[in-house]
Structure 1
């Protein structure tokens, strides 16, 4: 009874705490890909969305998740996705508690699941990695069950097939199965069946090689992706705290031989989580199942563990963002809506984090330059990095890709420029340097991005009717040359309030034009 009540309580509390807006930058290119697959009844051989991607076969090992995501969106819309994902995350940790509590005290399983959710709550948005976290839990549940080797092999092979078509972390499946050989060598068919099952995907062995190549690419230092950075103790103290507790438990547990397999899996997942931020979700989801079991706790010990569980869940509940749908502080929702309303044609230059959103919003209408699929944009990433530091390379890049529009992020750091005539050095807002106002017009903005249109690409007067001529959103406190210009800027602020809304950036611009 206690086991059932704990699982139900955790399911409800995590479901409440996990409700939040769509924040993953990759969400939208996954959604667009799911739509493409459903509409074409096939997988795209090459990237159908961006103009700067390499013309190489796209090994998309997450297609099954993408189809499910598009079906979920078609059923529930963006607000519904927020609720469905919250329930999905709750199932992950309630399931981990349920399976773990079959061999350990329910209080231990509960505190491990609560700590796991608190640690992983920022990593389990609407993304394939969340599905992988559930698959890790199910994999460990199968491997630690008492079913026959034959049934285990069949069930585990089936799960591996789903996993390899959902997320590249499926390469861990035979590794986890091999770890179980430390307690029973007769389970070798399970590991072999899992290794063979990895090949059951549309890409064969290339689906296995792709994540390994991507790991090497990220490790080369050619670009920086926050998800691939190490998990520093100062930023992720709970990760290191749980690792320390886990190590202590394995040191003091009496039946070390019987827990050898758990320890091996614990070490593998902990190392992966420490190496890369993106792997934390796998570790935290599996935590209740990879700690050594503890039984026979006293009443006071259970109360203490219950209090720790309440603290972990309470912390997650307090810091939760319970908005639903798209996070308009993270995505340029209003700015892109203005761009859509303008009906201006042309390729869009964009920073990678906005690529997926633009691909979804302009699906089938136009192509963007890049998105978060780093493996397809290796050459462009290097080119874009050079362009950010050399104006000649920058303008050549825009010309090369025929980018007549741009959706760019805010860069608070100003850029040093040198006046060719006087030699004077000045620091200017990045938008005034990259999008020179004689060539580009600011036509929309919001708290996430600015939208620019190249004047020469459109008939006279078209861009000018949309333009915010005097506002500089990435430097609201810019000094105006005259009172006349300041008054014109104030008028544009009032227009922005009507067209875009009373946003943070609009209020900052209003203050700058008033002071």
Structure 2
């Protein structure tokens, strides 16, 4: 028993490595900084429907993920620059442990070779998201919590249904994937009713559907109010959304996509060979599984359901395994299962997170010290902050860092929030980047005071054109970025 208390299991080893790796990583994701800017603005000024960071965001500010920004700002005040990195480390490590728990629940506690392979595929699908300090890590963790809640309900725990509305209220203020929660609970309830016909099952299913509706409605208990109900649909239908990489179909150039397809294929094989098919897991897995092929950002969520479908149906053939499984694989399966039963999954990653937190508490670094300067041009941003407030023409990825490091008085042309900006602004952005016809009119309409732009291709197209026209001077050069100041700003004495 003592050995069992300290022996790390498969999930513990994965979580331990991820916790240390991510907890020590410098901050580098562009999107993190518009969340930081938004969180700081909420803490200082409260919520507003008017975009505080630009004059082009006429569609209004929708801070539906404000909770992530506020949480990161609070952690920065405590841990310094390591705060967001430690948050991501804790979320990813916790999710790994809970995913292993969910696989055990789906396989009636039999976590052998198949479970380890399914777990590995899930991690491979999630892997591209790990280096990014973004709120979808909260979405992944809350989705896994929702999965565990549904599993508990399916085994007869009716009290767990009260957990779902609370989860929905929190989830909707942390990440835009909140709609998956009520969809999962509702689809699982319908599937269970089809699996086990009967009056009592129908009553249980109807009650669960009612709580799924309550979970959906609870999402409106936030600053965006009832508008949040239509936001996921509205955002997915935006023309500008279709150009975002993660909203495109599954990219077969990525290893994560092949891991996803391997998991889907294994699940189909297991379902096809099972004597009983369970619609309670197949219904949500099929819907989300197909959606992930169309929109690759759904793949981390769909991979979890596909793995659970695989485990729930593979376990039905467990009794036939000795006659059909080669001896070496059988022994390996028994070894992994024994290892899983004798180990714990929380101790070591928890100790690593506590130790890293202690290190950061003892010597917190400023945010500037904890940023990857090869990615974020802090020198150019510092030079901008020394200029009078004004309008900044910028590529969309750097808009968030401008709003955070320079402040909301420096109005960005666009940033990667995407939805506040009407289609015309996205079109003007493309014209400016690629030098397409109409770029000069777009420049005149925005009338910028500063230009913070990439100097490499294709950024050199605009720089060469403006250099030929004159009226700008270079103030700072930092890596692949340059800061130019419009000469009329200096001559007029104001932006």
Shorter-chain TM-score above 0.5: yes
Which residue is equivalent to 2:376?
331
Q: What's the secondary structure of 1:59's corresponding residue?
A: coil
Which residue is equivalent to 2:178?
170
Q: How many residues align?
A: 426
The 2-side partners of 1:369 and 1:352 are apart by 8
Q: 1:30 aligns with which of 22, 32, 35?
A: 35
Which residue is equivalent to 1:442?
474
Structure 1 residues 237, 30: CA separation in 2 closer, same or farther (over 3 Å shift)? same
Structure 1 residues 109, 348: CA separation in 2 closer, same or farther (over 3 Å shift)? same
TM-score by length of 2: 0.77
Deviations 1:255-294 (A, max 9, x none): 32xx322222222332232222322332345554443334
State how 1:76-91 maps to structure 2 within 5 Å: 76-91=79-94
Paired residues of 1:29 and 1:355 also in contact (CA < 8 A): yes
Q: 2:26 aligns with which of 21, 27, 32?
A: 21
Query: Is 1:115 aligned with 2:109?
Result: no
Which residue is equivalent to 2:248?
229
Which residue is equivalent to 1:381?
426
Query: Is 1:198 aligned with 2:212?
Result: no
Which residue is equivalent to 1:478?
none
Gaps in structure 2 of 5+ consecutive residues: 194-201, 322-329, 340-368
Q: What's the secondary structure of 2:384's corresponding residue?
A: helix
Superposed displacement of residue 305, structure 1: 9.7
Q: What's the secondary structure of 1:173's corresponding residue?
A: helix
The 2-side partners of 1:243 and 1:410 are apart by 43
Which residue is equivalent to 1:366?
410
RMSD: 3.1
Structure 1 residues 117, 211: CA separation in 2 closer, same or farther (over 3 Å shift)? same
Paired residues of 2:399 and 2:415 also in contact (CA < 8 A): yes
Paired residues of 2:474 and 2:482 also in contact (CA < 8 A): yes
Structure 1 residues 57, 148: CA separation in 2 closer, same or farther (over 3 Å shift)? farther
The 1-side partners of 2:304 and 2:272 are apart by 22
Larger relative contact order (CA 8 Å, sep ≥ 6): 2
Which residue is equivalent to 1:355?
399
Which residue is equivalent to 1:43?
47
Paired residues of 1:228 and 1:278 also in contact (CA < 8 A): yes
Q: 1:179 aligns with which of 187, 192, 205?
A: 187
Deviations 1:187-207 (A, max 9, x none): 322222222332232334320
State how 1:425-440 maps to structure 2 within 5 Å: 430-436=462-468, 438-440=470-472
Which residue is equivalent to 1:239?
260
The 2-side partners of 1:192 and 1:232 are apart by 37
Which sits farther off after the overlay, 347-356 or 367-376?
A: 367-376
The 2-side partners of 1:170 and 1:246 are apart by 25
The 2-side partners of 1:376 and 1:400 are apart by 18
Q: What's the secondary structure of 1:331's corresponding residue?
A: coil
Paired residues of 1:439 and 1:454 also in contact (CA < 8 A): yes
Q: 2:56 aligns with which of 25, 28, 52?
A: 52
Superposed displacement of residue 411, structure 1: 4.2
Which sits farther off after the overlay, 439-448 or 91-100?
A: 439-448
Deviations 1:115-158 (A, max 9, x none): 22222122242212111100110001000015755412201121
Superposed displacement of residue 223, structure 1: 6.2
Query: Is 1:248 aligned with 2:257?
Result: no
Paired residues of 2:72 and 2:87 also in contact (CA < 8 A): no
Structure 1 residues 58, 390: CA separation in 2 closer, same or farther (over 3 Å shift)? same
TM-score by length of 1: 0.74
Paired residues of 1:387 and 1:397 also in contact (CA < 8 A): yes
Greater helix fraction, Structure 1 or Structure 2: 2
Query: Is 1:213 aligned with 2:234?
Result: yes
State how 1:396-415 maps to structure 2 within 5 Å: 396-413=441-458
State how 1:480-499 maps to structure 2 within 5 Å: none
Superposed displacement of residue 177, structure 1: 1.0
Structure 1 residues 334, 278: CA separation in 2 closer, same or farther (over 3 Å shift)? farther
Superposed displacement of residue 94, structure 1: 1.2
